[in-house]
Amino acid sequence: MRWLTIGMIAAPIFLIGVLGMIALIGVVMASPNGIGFVPTPIPPSPTPYVPPYAISLRLYDPVRDETITWDVPPATWGQWIAIPITEPPLPGTALPLDAAQVEAYLNGRQAELGADRYINLQEGVAAAVNAAAGSDYTPVRLYHRERQHTVQPGESIISIAWDYGIPYPYVQEVNPGVEALSVGQSITIPSPDVLLPLPVVSGKRIEVSISEQRARVYENGALKWDWVVSTGIDSSPTWTGVYQILSHEPNAYASNWNLWMPNFLGVYRPVPYADFTNGFHGFPTRGGSQLLWTNSLGTRVTYGCILLSNDNIALLYDWAQDGVVVEITG
> Could you tell me if residue 126 is inside a domain?
yes
Please give the C-alpha separations between residue 285 and each of 236, 259, 282, in angstroms, as whole numbers: 19, 6, 10
Residue 4 banded pLDDT, cuts 50, 70, 90: very low
pLDDT value at 319 more than 60: yes
pLDDT value at 93 more than 50: yes
> Could you tell me if residue 3 is inside a domain?
no
Evaluated on CA atoms 251, 254, 260, 262, the torsion sign reads negative
- Alpha-carbon gap, residue 284 to 250, rounded angstroms: 12
pLDDT digits (tens, 9 = 90+) for 185-227: 999 999 999 999 999 999 999 999 999 999 999 999 999 999 9
Clarify whether residues 117 and 217 are in a common domain. Answer: no
Q: Are 117 and 143 in contact (CB under 8 A)?
A: yes
- Alpha-carbon gap, residue 204 to 325, rounded angstroms: 7
Could you tell me how far CA 114 lies from the centroid of its own chain?
15
Count of domains in the chain? 3
Look at the chain and count its residues: 330
Clarify whether residues 219 and 244 are in a common domain. Answer: yes
Among residues 121, 144, 167, the one where a domain terminates is 144
> Could you tell me if residue 110 is inside a domain?
yes
Clarify whether residues 159 and 248 are in a common domain. Answer: no
134 three-state secondary structure? coil
Clarify whether residues 208 and 319 are in a common domain. Answer: yes
Clarify whether residues 236 and 287 are in a common domain. Answer: yes
> Could you tell me if residue 80 is inside a domain?
yes
Q: What are phi and psi of 103, to 5 degrees?
A: -60, -40
pLDDT digits (tens, 9 = 90+) for 105-126: 999 999 999 999 999 999 999 9
Please report, for the domain that includes residue 213, its CATH number: 2.40.440.10
Clarify whether residues 292 and 241 are in a common domain. Answer: yes
Give strand ranges (E) for the chain. 28-31, 34-37, 55-61, 66-72, 117-119, 140-144, 147-150, 186-189, 204-209, 214-219, 222-228, 241-244, 247-254, 259-268, 278-281, 285-286, 290-291, 306-307, 325-329
Mean pLDDT (the chain, rounded) = 87
Clarify whether residues 118 and 155 are in a common domain. Answer: no
Q: Are 216 and 87 in contact (CB under 8 A)?
A: no
Clarify whether residues 260 and 164 are in a common domain. Answer: no
Q: What percent of the chain has pLDDT over 70?
A: 83
Residue 11 banded pLDDT, cuts 50, 70, 90: very low
Domain span including residue 269: 204-329
- Alpha-carbon gap, residue 216 to 326, rounded angstroms: 10
